[in-house]
């Protein structure tokens, strides 16, 4: 698996938390690994320990070249996906186009699409 983390030093650099690019890559690798394993609890713990909010890094973390939710759909990681979806604003989820992507890539039956629809409506 190839994970990519775009430089987001400005997002991570807060008075309480400063990090280097290699630490960012390590956190991104952990995020993607926990999504692939559908390990919501470890994902939550990593984010909490790193003082990171999904909504602040969602656009900067790419797992196998896919956004986190699409990566979760591809890996049938419903628990991790629902956790991520709940952490994002409903308007953001509605604009991402993940439902359309899933339908056009053979994942129309994914249970994650229900969570996307529910969050998009909120």
Alpha carbon of 110 to those of 7, 24, 39, 87: distances in Å? 31, 30, 17, 19
Tokens of 26: 């390590």
Q: Averaged over 65-88, what is the pLDDT? A: 97
pLDDT band at 1; cut points 50, 70, 90:
low
Q: Averaged over 33-50, what is the pLDDT? A: 96
Give pTM, 2 decimals: 0.80
Residues in a beta bridge with 14: 17
Report the C-alpha gap between 63 and 109 in whole angstroms. Answer: 21
Report the C-alpha gap between 12 and 66 in whole angstroms. Answer: 21
Report the C-alpha gap between 75 and 101 in whole angstroms. Answer: 14
pLDDT band at 49; cut points 50, 70, 90:
very high
pLDDT at 33 over 90: yes
């Amino acid at each position: 698996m190839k994970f990519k983390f775009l430089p987001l030093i400005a997002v991570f650099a807060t008075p309480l938390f400063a990090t280097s690019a290699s630490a960012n890559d390590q956190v991104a690798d952990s995020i993607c690994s926990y999504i692939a394993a559908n390990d919501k609890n470890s994902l939550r713990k990593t984010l909490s320990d790193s003082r990171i909010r999904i909504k602040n890094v969602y656009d900067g973390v790419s797992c196998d070249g896919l956004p986190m939710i699409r990566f979760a759909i591809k890996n049938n990681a419903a628990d991790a996906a629902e956790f991520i979806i709940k952490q994002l604003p409903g308007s953001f989820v509605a604009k991402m186009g993940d439902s359309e992507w899933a339908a056009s890539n053979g994942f129309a039956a994914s249970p994650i699409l229900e969570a996307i629809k529910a969050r998009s409506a909120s």
